[in-house]
Amino acid sequence: MIKHQKSKELVAQMLDLAEVKLDGTNPWDITVNDERLFSRLLKEGEIAFGESFMDGWWDCDRIDLLTEKIAKAQIQKKLRYNKSFIVKAILHYLFNPQTKRGSKKVAIDHYDIGNDLYERMLDKNMNYSCGYWKFADNLDQAQEDKLEMICQKLQLKPGMRLLDIGCGWGGMARHAAKNYGVEVVGVTISKEQKILAEKRCEGLPIEIRLCDYRDLNEQFDRIVSIGMFEHVGYKNYDTYMDVAHKNLKEEGLFLLHTIGNNRSVITGSPWILKYIFPNSMIPSIKQIGKSIENRFVMEDWHNFGPDYEKTLHAWNENFEAHWDEIKDQYDERFKRMWSFYLLYCAGAFRARYLQLWQIVLSKGRDSYQVRDLKK
């Protein structure tokens, strides 16, 4: 009991730095359900924050606001990483976890967990990436506007051949083929995504391949990659850009849509790595810049990171609204995990801890002009 009390005092002191109270009345305050929480946080660090929520040891009305406050106060630096995460970080530095074999883990653990879940959580065209909310007031429109903006930035024209690296469930491929008359090759490493993408793209000039990006070797007028670069890993950035450069025609354009980090890291959040996106990491400007050096000309760099907070909230609202339709396939711990993931990430974007970048690259086109979404 004395041990728990001492641990509680230490955790409370750290939370005070972020203006977060234990059992307080603000929506971002923590309601403690199990007093063992405090020693667990001090012993296991950041990963215990998410795991203890999954276990029901604490609750919070607004996890996004809690995460924002913690991120801004940089409390995570005061909590120790547990030993297993330190070992994993060292292994990330010494070895390459995103080999062709290693990269398949995220497909199995995340993207293949059930199309039923994603069909209920995402927009009608199943885009699992940040929407563009400048003109939109709902998720469907925000995702439609995002796809349209990408097509306009790529300056697509009928008859062009477009490569979509990490095509998901085919939302981008469908939009480009239907509205711009282009032929699309989409690649994914998720078997479940391929099955549903082929069904959704039926009747259009779209080919969906179960393929690692490193196996691509053909020419395309345009290349797009939306929300996939986060799975590449810093050891593979040069290889990724070499592949894009090799497969892009001399007059072509390449648009990279990725979450961005304010600082350079070599691994990701321990909780996200374990439960959501294995082997993932968020790139920085420095890391991306180094990878495109001597390969591409950077034509445009667009940041609309705050839009991801709105997107994540929309996904969470859909998830909560449709939970009863899929709850027999999962359990309560999964529900808490999934909601924590969406709101935890929303808080990171709200704090401007993370960004969302669209980067247009060329091999040196003289005529490229920056374009925003036309309405």
**Sheet strands (E) in 144-273:** 161-165, 183-188, 206-210, 220-226, 248-261
* Pairing state between β 297-303 and 354-362: antiparallel
Which tokens in the block code for residue 50? Answer: 């998410």
Catalytic residue among 130, 151, 167, 345: 345
Distances (CA, A) of 103 to 110, 118, 217, 228, 261: 12, 21, 19, 11, 21
Q: Which long-range contacts (CB under 8 A, 24 or more apart) does 142-145 make?
A: 142/307, 142/310, 142/311, 142/314, 143/171, 144/175, 145/373
In terms of Cβ atoms closer than 10 Å to its own Cβ (0-12, 13-18, 19+), residue 353 is buried
Residue 279 carries which DSSP code? T
Measured between alpha carbons, how far apart are the two ends of the chain, in Å?
63
Catalytic residue check, 345: yes
CA angle centred on 151, ends 147 and 153, rounded to 5° = 115
Q: Which residues does residue 261 pair with via DSSP β-bridges, in sequence order?
A: 284, 354
**Residues belonging to the chain:** 375
Cite the active site residues.
Answer: 345
